[in-house]
Structure 1
Amino acid sequence: MFVGRARELAALGDALATARSGASSTVLVGGEAGVGKTRLIKEFTGRSDDVLVLVGGCLELGTEGLPFAPFTAVLRGLVRELGRDGVAALVPGGTTRGLARLLPDFGEPDKDGAEARARLFEQVLGLLERLAEERPVLLVVEDAHWADRSTRDLLSFLVRYQRTAARLMIVVTYRTDELHRTHPLRPLLAELGRIEWVTRVELRRLTRREAVAQAAGILEREPSAATMDLIYARSEGNPLFVEALLSEPGGGDPLPESLRDLLLAGVERLPDETQELLRVASAGGQRMEHDLLSAVAGLDESALSRALRPAVAGNVLVVDGEGYSFRHALIREALHDDLLPGEHTRLHTRYAEALERDLSILPAPRGAIELAHHWHSAHNSTWALISAWRAAAAARKSTAYDEQLRMLSRVLELWDQVPGAAERIGCDRFEVFRQTATVAHLAGEFERSIALATAGLAELDHESDPLRAASLLRQRGLTRYDLGRPGHIDDLRRAAELTPADQPSKLRGQVLESLSRMLHGAEDWPEKLATARLAMEIGHEVGDATVEAHAMINLTWTRYRYSEIEAQLVAFAEARRLAAAGGAFNALMRCAISESDALEGAGRHEQAAQVARDGIEEAGQYGLARTSGTFLSINLAEPLVSLGRWDEALQVIEHALDLVPPPPYRSSLQGFAVDIALARGQLDRAEHLLASSRSILSRGTYRDQSVLPHLCREVRLLQARGQVQEAVELAARTLEERDLLNAPRYSWPVLVVFAQLVADSPGSLARLCASLVPRLRALGQSLDVEGDLQEAHRLTFSALIAALAGSEVSGKRPPALPADRLSSAALIEVDRLAAWDRAVAAWEGLREPYAEAWCLVRAAQAALAGGDRQAAGARLVRARELAGPLGATRLLEQLDVFGRRARIGGPEEPGDGHPQGLTARELEVLREVTDGRSNREIAGALFISVKTVSVHVSNILAKLAVATRGEAAATAHRLRLFD
């Protein structure tokens, strides 16, 4: 009888209802061993008739789990139900070579590489998405406390990205009493628990009333109160223990004194031959295949069935597909722990020998990994080393990098214990170090990878064996680069020195390509160019399409400037051709990323958006939508923002963020959302998003393309909040601490933002702002200009800096009034207007409406200052036409305020025409307040009494709808009342 658990069933039911409605959900079900997690899930799935239920369990093997065990079980079940072709038809992209890493039925896996695991994960999620199109899907992963690293990674991926798979529900069960402080599942559960669609359910023990109901169901009668008191006190409400205690024959027998005795009590009542078979089975793990158990037990089919039947009838074993599982893992643990040392060694040896005879009894890589486990448990060092080496190769084929790392580490541990170890595995110790360092990098164990590479290099004579030293130096250099550690360039340069220049090889091509990609400094540009060209030549000569394509991309970035975009596009097309011919998916994605980025940097926004959009579609076909695809979403959002298609950009950003990209990608995506929020006056939203990006960027060292746009946003937000002094101080620190000459594409916007900040700052900050102008002017004169986009920024900056300096802007002066009719001040304004008109024309040519509108406002101000009201009005009207559809509220506010003050370009202010209903005297007082003066200082400056100033200040606060003088000053800045 199923008792209690109403609350838990309701939680699962709510989650399933969410999935049925078209959303997705995950429930994490925890509880101690024996508390009834499996029974709860069985009861729940039995009530879900309209749902496709897929169940897979993590399998314990020694102290580790088998890689991808639950997902392999699910896939095998689908093949049994739908057939291989039926499953293949559901896999996105039409290829199942990724799934072949889990199940050999799908043939040979595709190429190894950094993207292989991403493709596998994408195909698993894609399969679930297709299944959920027909009916809701419930994926159950049991016993996650035994999950290996690979299983945890795939589980985390599915939970994080399940929002893209409508009608998918995931249930994960785990033992809470297994989760010691350092258990690897603990941080994953904590991380998943913070996701909004994840619910945690903790199974409690049964109450006494529920335990009585359970006992009555088992005994078919209600037990006596005395018996139940004893059983409940001993079991403490654990359902498994209640059941085991009730199964004790006779009321006079004493209760077992230990948990082991309690669990083994039911086993000991079985026939001797069944008990012996169960001891044999316990050495095979929680689940064992029928054929393997038969081979190890040494029984024919008749004898095996005769021994198994009582165990199944006694509910110790349950039939599980083509094999058997212990009803509860605690029973297997108790049996295995009860083995004598000699029995333990003998049984594991028998399992290992049976698998050596026929490894196909178990699916790959499970067979190879279990074989390594049994030889290791049998304490046979020689065969433990050999089988671990083979298991590492099998794990690599499944992209189970953590398991591969564990197997290779075992090889290194056993090396000195096995005479002639190198001959036995056909590989020397250095090669094992090299492979282990590489796999540690793939598994994300960067520190360990560096340590292994360093240890391997210490054992090698670089002069006598230069190629192998170069290989490991390259690996260490790549890992140091990913970890942000110094020395990566030195490692790669040394590796290049060790590879013979007169003997082109695949290794030399890889080393040179890696080196050229990582040379970023302006002083390294000649070396980067020469190295990329040489790597490309070698890649072509040795037939390595991946190296050739990547080197071509490096060469293109180095050879061409943004002003040479047509030549760049031809070169990127050639790189794409090379990558496609060689099936180099990673290089193909990098082509799309690089080409769209180059087009955006050149100001070709429409083309950039189209290339990025096509790349995102390709990423989905290659199974890389959530890796390369989310990076390309950055390259799509940027040109959409430039083009003023802000709502479309926000949709792209939202979709990409739903895929939970890596933190640096998330920061870049959120940055464009900040730009839109700032322009639309959504300051709280901008501040929230900036805080998230700030947290990400503070945890690592990032290049200018990430840091400089973030600094611009920080300054603009501070200015919008009225914290102008803080904004100016941040700008000053940036100019002192950062070299802005290395990255013109990202430095020009910084100069524009800083110059605008100085131009709009109040008089009270005049001294601080004045100190920035010479530095800004010097940077503007020294910074390169590459392409039309940077030229537009330069023109905008020049117009700003000329106004700050009060000097004329260089360039041809447009026709205007005769010079003898103009004052020197008016001449300056004519030059200012010409400068702003050039900037407007540049942004108009690039089809950037927001930047064009912003410059039009400045041009209108210059026109009005020069006395040309008609020109000012025309520019304000055009600016409003551009800003209105964008929803750029802050710019529209500035337009309205300026138009009202000047009585041009829009509806005039009623009454005396002053903004916000302020009188002329109140405006004078507000100007003094904005400059930070006290009432007494204002009274002295305006020759009025302090009491009169106080009255004016009260009126000002009321009309501006603010509570403090500081807020009034901030509002005045925001509305540009005193430009």
Structure 2
Amino acid sequence: MPGQEWQDSFGTLLARLRKAARLTQEQLADRAELSVRAISSLECGSRHPRRLTLDRLAEALGLTGAQRALLEDAARYGRRRAVPVGTLLPIAGPAGPLIGRRAELAELHAHLTGDGPAALGYDGEAGIGKSRLLAEAVAIGTRVGMPVLVGVTRRDSGRYSPLADALADHVRRTPPSVLAAQLRGCAGLELLLPELADRIRQGGGAGPDARSGSGARSGSGTWSSSGTRSGSGREPGQQARRLMFEAVGRFLDNIAGSGRLLLVLDDLHWAGRDTAELLAFLVRRSWTYLRLVAACRAGDVAPNAPLGLHAADLARLHLVRGRRLAPLATPEADALITATAGEVALPEATRSRIVRLSGGLPLFLVELTRAARDASAAGPDADGRSPTGRVAAGRVGGGRVGGAIVPWHLRLAVVHQLTALPEPVVLLLRRMAVAGPTVTVAQLVADEREAESVLDWLEMARRYRILDESRCGFRFRYPLVREVLATGAGPNRRRLWRSGGAGAHAPAPPADARHAPVYL
């Protein structure tokens, strides 16, 4: 069932107008000739009003013209704004069938039924399909009736993002009457979600824990909003942190009830220390019912980052397992092209170019296919130019790479994959792109003393899955990345690098390794 934005909803507005008129639900029901159950259902949002019901409510409440219009707008807004849980997931690809992930899909189904560790993590480069699998997890969980919480980490997010975002989103989507029950025993949650302070106080936040029987104790001291307790000598920050962690755990207990709860977190590689510690605490505490599905780019996680250290600890306790996603095989890539192209029949040569350039990366497959499909469907323009001519004339938002149309936003996505690498690594990749499909270390260094530094840079690019290594040398994992980098360099620079002239070998690392500009 779709979730609902409950702030400023019809039910909230109706309850506010009823209280302003100083009427109980029974009194309003009597005046409007409705049942008390109908009034309660309307206020908690489990049903929408009909036109006759709206007229009766407006008359019973004695609403002015402006108030009545506001109530009618809220009723229409409630029907129009129903949104599915997980709408914010950044799915890079079609919302159609999931292609080429049979093993992953079977594992996901088993995980959501309670099989294996509490946490399942997907690792892979941008565009490999991690978010698509998370969307599938949301769909499966919603279909079987599991409570689903979804959060997405952003660059420079808050201290506890995306967990705080997932809980806040759940609060917005939950009817007030249901939320009141879920907040019982959650004193301390307002430290993470300050907007809940009044609701928790009104609901008596010192109730027992539904699962473990633990809760905020009374009698040995009272809790303050800063997390201190009277008569306690502990550091306030530590107390507040412990209180908040326990409150989040009790909130999840109450949401799950007697069943399982699904927590879906995307782009977890940007999570900070606080998020990693809270997430590890929840997995340890709630592993019996919690089903966590997360996506992360391991290459963006520093070796000693808190997220990696906590993941290693949980793995030793058999509470987490990971799966590294691989590019699609050629038959699967061809099937994805067919699904994306729809009714447009692309020439076999075009399909082959798309498969070759994409290297099996779903994002590249989808975007290149869409560009080819749109160009094929457009036909010649008024000047008689073909789609190829329009691209050459700059009338399409992209360009041709390797014989395929590359949209401008896809070129930006390729460049974005390189922004996390230091400047010398990016410069080295640009030279490799011009040098050829496979490049040896000997082609990149003028002196053997530079070989170790160059190998370190190449190893970093391999860890970020930009390059693959073999006995013959290094090559770009995805030909499209190489082609975009090669075409981005000017003709004089390409000529210099190909000739092996001055400056053609590996650059010395600068004093401050800033990111190099990657030209489109």
TM-score bucket of the superposed structures, by smaller chain: 0.3 to 0.5
TM-score (norm 2): 0.45
TM-score (norm 1): 0.25
More helix by share: 1
More strand by share: 2
| Greater RCO (CA < 8 Å, at least 6 residues apart) | 2
Bigger Rg, structure 1 or 2:
1
